[in-house]
Amino acid sequence: MRTRILGHTGKAVSEIGLGTWQLGTPWGPAFNAAEAERILTAA
């Protein structure tokens, strides 16, 4: 996995992340808890 240093923290983080804004807000298609869990487990 490729990492980069996060800002001035000195911490290495993955270059790829999972955006989860759509799992907890009314934006975009509706998600139910089971579907959200499936997405998070796959990630």
Model pTM? 0.53
31 is a domain residue: yes
Q: What is the pLDDT of residues 1-34, one digit of tens each?
A: 899 999 999 999 999 888 887 777 777 777 788 9
pLDDT given for residue 27 in this prediction: 75
Both tokens assigned to 16: 């790829």
29 is a domain residue: yes
pLDDT given for residue 9 in this prediction: 97
Q: Would the CA dihedral through 10, 13, 15, 17 be positive or negative?
A: negative
34 is a domain residue: yes
Please report which helix (H) or strand (E) contains residue 42, including its range.
helix 33-42
The domain total for the chain is 1
What single-letter DSSP state applies at residue 7? T
